[in-house]
Amino acid sequence: MASGSRHGRSFPMNVLAMRLFSGYSHNIWLLIIASALFTGAYLGMTLYEAIETYGEALLGSDIMERFGTRFPLIIKFLDASNVLGEQIHLEDDFDCKTSHVIVERGANTQTFIFACRHFAMERLDLREDHALDLDGKRFYVLSQIEGSSRVVAGESVEMLRAGNSCLLPAALESVRLEPQGNAALLKMYVPDLMANIVEPLRARGVSDADIVGLGGHTGLNDLGYSVCR
Q: At residue 196, what are phi and psi to the nearest 5 degrees?
A: -100, -20
Side-chain-side CA neighbours of residue 186 (13 Å): 17
Would you call 185 exposed, middle or buried from its count of C-beta atoms within 10 A (0-12, 13-18, 19+)? buried
Among 122, 121, 120, 183, CA closest to 151: 183
Helix, strand, or coil here: 12? strand
Whole-number pLDDT of residue 197:
96
Q: Which of helix, strand or coil describes residue 132?
A: strand
Taking the CB of residue 199, how many other CB atoms lie within 10 A of it? 14
Q: What are phi and psi of 62, to 5 degrees?
A: -65, -40
For 99, residues 6+ apart whose C-beta sits below 8 A from its C-beta are 210, 213, 214
For every one of its 229 residues, what pLDDT tens digit does the chain have, with 9 covering 90 and above? 234 444 444 444 333 344 443 333 333 222 333 333 445 545 666 777 778 888 898 899 999 999 998 888 877 666 666 666 655 555 555 566 788 999 999 999 999 999 998 899 999 999 999 999 888 999 999 999 999 999 988 877 888 988 888 888 888 878 999 999 999 999 999 999 999 999 999 999 999 999 999 988 777 788 877 777 6
The set of long-range contacts for 104-113, using a CB threshold of 8 Å and a minimum separation of 24, is 105/130, 112/197, 112/201, 112/214, 113/214
Sign of CA dihedral 209, 65, 138, 18: negative
Sign of the torsion formed by the C-alpha atoms of 122, 111, 127 and 80 = positive
Which residues, other chains included, contact 217 with Cβ-Cβ below 8 Å and sequence gap of 6+?
Answer: 95, 97
